[in-house]
Structure 1
């Protein structure tokens, strides 16, 4: 059976970190990554992300489908960059080490490959951190942490519901897909890609209606329990910030400081190995 992508309870050092700390890590490191195209910095963040993956004991089978989609997206993105800006790398790095000429204005150079590689590294630097946050953060604990630092409990609860809803959507998608296949609408790997894409649209409407029904049920349940009438609420799960949380926040801020320092060191956002 396919596994749902969402929070998985495990006893790991990453799971023990407060959800707010992990959210700040994702936001701050993402900002640091967006500020620079320094390959050394990006590779360092990628390595740290992979180490955190190991510490969180996240299995590849749990993110296999998502990883395939991300890989396809990055491949398409790289092709589009080359089609619309075949000389972008040459412009950025101010040199051209031509590998071979393809057709018309399209020539492949080391500078263009290096530029596209940096773009791909940016995705690999940020996306694993987002996956770690989603798969290691208990929605209830995260909502309590947000409320603890001053976020309205209504907003915090909405965030918790969103995180809990991700696996439900995946489960509904699989159930509807299997039902449609039983009716002769093939969305399996046996069908051609074009036909699978066309048949997938037959799943979207039932999935939307199922989601709306669930939203209606949740809304009615919350109204019957008097949600939102009081200014404050108590939480079943709450976790105060500890030393490890402050350490993660400090490391995230340090990543931004390093990114800013590299901007001045490289006299811009781009690290140029072709000088």
Structure 2
């Protein structure tokens, strides 16, 4: 599998890379909570632009994330369509008005309110998902584990989190290796095959992937047990990064952004910004 298709830690020397892993985790959680709780379009637009600017600052190339972004985009579009399919008038209920753009059959008309509501859903994805990707791509798993342990999290939990993050690229490698093996046996799951065959082929990959993952987990746990992992209450870390002034500034900024989202909810009288009033 080519390197650009993998999603994992990518070393760098940018402002974001130099931040502590704990700082990035706290900022990601706080801003994600802010984006998920509010439907204020102005706030979501601002955070969406900010998240895209951070990608530019981090010097992450499109080729490094194109696969995962396209994968997420497909499921996001399916979710947007499902929202309209099951609740085509939900926007009119939220905003208390109904401006029809296209008359449909039964309740399936296209209204400004529904489009505006689903536009906000799209902004939620754009504003929150990039922060998660930035965290995964710019955080060294070992350094992140040491940072968690430094703020009081058990080193066993910290190490487990680091292993989970480090394991993401390994899962991708295993997926593509199994996929190549399946295609060598005659299962066509490339873009040339129909959607039905590709779905069937993907399902045939999942089961071997689960088995190989369980086998690898057993090997790792046995190796850790043989090395007496967990015997002592404390441990030292090879990779450890101290908090700097930038870390405290980023955490403070994330807290301000979160508080701003709650202020907007109070100002608007609800989670929704209503331009139809």
TM-score by length of 1: 0.98
Separation of aligned partners in 1, 2:261 and 2:206: 42
**Equivalent residue for 1:266?**
268
Helix, strand or coil at the partner of 2:11: coil
Q: In structure 1, what is the Cα distance between the partners aligned to 2:94 and 2:203?
A: 41
- Deviation, 1:30, is 1.2
Alpha-carbon distance in structure 2 between the residues aligned to 1:120 and 1:41: 13
- Distance in 1 separating the partners of 2:265 and 2:207: 48
Map residues 126-275 of structure 1 onto 2, 5 A cutoff: 126-275=128-277
Aligned equivalents of 2:225 and 2:74: distance in 1? Answer: 43
Number of paired residues? 275
Distance 1:165 1:157 in 2: 12
The answer to whether structure 1 residue 97 and structure 2 residue 82 are counterparts is no
C-alpha deviation, 1:31, in angstroms: 1.2
Aligned partners of 1:213 and 1:170: how far apart in 2?
16
1:132-189: CA deviation from partner (whole Å, max 9, x where unpaired) = 0011000000000000000000000000000000000000111111111111011111
Runs of 4+ aligned residues of structure 1 deviating over 4 Å after TM superposition are none
Alignment equivalent of 1:63, drawn from 65, 80, 92 = 65
* SS at structure 2 position matched to 1:108: strand
Distance (whole Å) between structure 1 residues aligned to residue 247 and residue 28 of structure 2: 13
Distance 1:174 1:228 in 2: 34
1 CA distance for matches of 2:25 and 2:78?
A: 29
Query: How far did residue 88 of structure 1 move?
Result: 1.1
User: Which ranges of structure 2 fall in alignment gaps of 5 or more residues?
Assistant: none
**SS at the partner of 2:103?**
strand
Tell me the secondary structure at the aligned position of residue 104 of structure 2.
strand
Q: What's 1:15 paired with? A: 17
CA distance in 2, matches of 1:35, 1:79: 21
Residues 44 and 124, structure 2, Cα contact 8 Å, conserved in 1: yes
> Could you say what the CA RMSD is over the residues aligned between the two structures, in angstroms?
1.0
2:75 matched to 1:109? no
Please give the residue correspondences for 1:65-80 in structure 2 after superposition, counting only pairs within 5 Å.
Answer: 65-80=67-82
* Secondary structure of residue in 2 paired with 1:253: helix
Q: Which residue of 2 aligns with 1:38?
A: 40
